[in-house]
Chains A and B, each alone.
Chain A
Amino acid sequence: MRYALLLHNPEPAPGDIPAEGIAEMERLFTEYADALVSAGVLVGADILQFSHATTTVTRRTGATQVQDGPFAETKEALAGVFVVDVPDLDAAVAWAEKCPGATYGSVEVRPVATSIVAGAWTGHGPAE
């Protein structure tokens, strides 16, 4: 099954975290990514820029609306996505637990319903 590990954390203001702290976290994330790759479970990973850079688009009312900022302002913002392919929830939770982001934020473990594999939608979980 595929799971998306969604990293959420409060966004620090510039200068809140010392440079060595950032370097240390980058090192931990590299180790984490290496572990995912060598276990053969990583599908893809993206760490996002802070939400000040985001733009939200909707056509819900018919006309296209482009809005600066995230859909909803929250204390913790979406900060990154790791997609892993593992046998079950326990394995996914174990990887979430190892994620460095879990030490200062939270990691949401969400099963993937369907994804594009080789150009076509491919189901994963039970389709209902």
Chain B
Amino acid sequence: MTDGPAYDAAAAAARDGYGRLVGLLAAGSGDLQAAEDALGDALERALRTWPADGVPDNPAGWLLTVARRRLRDRHRSVEVRRTTPLVPERHAPARLEDVDPDAGGDRRLELMLACAHPAVDPVARTPLMLTTVLGFTAAQVAPAFSVPAATMATRLTRAKRRIRDAGVPFTLPDRSALPGGLTGATQVGERHRAGVRVRIPVPLLRIREIHHRIHRHEPADRRVVIPRPDRRQPVVSAGLSKNP
């Protein structure tokens, strides 16, 4: 099923909201893999149910609720899952309309900072941002980093496990830590600008754009600056299409 309004709505929600939803889902536990899996399940469910039931008024809220429920399920034992009946009041789709993803704030900057944390392997930082913030798959970003898809997948899995197990925080550094704490994020940008190994201007521009949107109300000295990628550099974008 690759057409119809339901598919388009799901694709749009995934494209525009992926990083925001992953940020919200992962910020509590620091578990990026679980967040992405839960969101993947929610998207799959959207594609199965929306064509029949209609696209909800608030697709992002629907996805967030279903994904959160998946996350909760993970923490429950098999026993509980098998024996707890569905409660219509709690599980009714009508309630999904009430969920406002904006209420939880935007955790994308925290997500990006976690991806660029000094405790994360430097080679994994940029691909991790591309996959978690923008929703690219390992196979899509692998060619841009000149590694096989399987290698990239392993690298990403390892980095996500590290973020979870080492307790990398999903927080904005306070003023005292700002210059040091953000070097990782800005280095990712710098590397793009230098065009040393990776040149993926389109997604990076989107990261900048998201960044800018989050920070437009911040005073100038608190704003994080991601350098603009150099457009004169020849672009290697093998395998990077905008839409999966």
Contact = CB atoms under 8 A, between A and B. Distances in A.
A111 B169 contact: no
26 contacts: A1-B167, A3-B167, A87-B169, A88-B167, A88-B168, A88-B169, A89-B117, A89-B167, A89-B168, A89-B169, A90-B168, A90-B169, A90-B171, A90-B173, A90-B177, A90-B181, A92-B167, A93-B119, A111-B165, A111-B166, A111-B167, A125-B165, A125-B167, A126-B29, A126-B164, A126-B165
- Of A1, A90, A125, most B-chain CB atoms within 10 Å: A90
Interface in B146-169: 164-169
- Of A1, A87, A126, most B-chain CB atoms within 10 Å: A126
B72 to A, nearest CB: 15
B31 A89 contact: no
Contacts of B181: 90
Q: 6 closest A-B pairs (Cβ-Cβ)?
A: A88-B169, A89-B167, A1-B167, A88-B167, A89-B168, A89-B166
- Of A3, A88, A92, most B-chain CB atoms within 10 Å: A88
User: How many B residues touch the partner, as a band?
Assistant: 10 to 19
A128 to B, nearest CB: 9
Interface residues of A, number: 11
A105 B177 CA distance: 24
A126 B31 contact: yes
A125 B163 CA distance: 11
A93 B168 CA distance: 10
Nearest to A90: B169
Contacts of A1: 167
Contacts of B165: 111, 125-126
Nearest to A89: B167
Nearest to A92: B167
Contacts of B169: 87-90
- Of B29, B169, B177, most A-chain CB atoms within 10 Å: B169
Contacts of B29: 126
Contacts of B166: 89, 111
A92 B168 CA distance: 10
A99 to B, nearest CB: 17
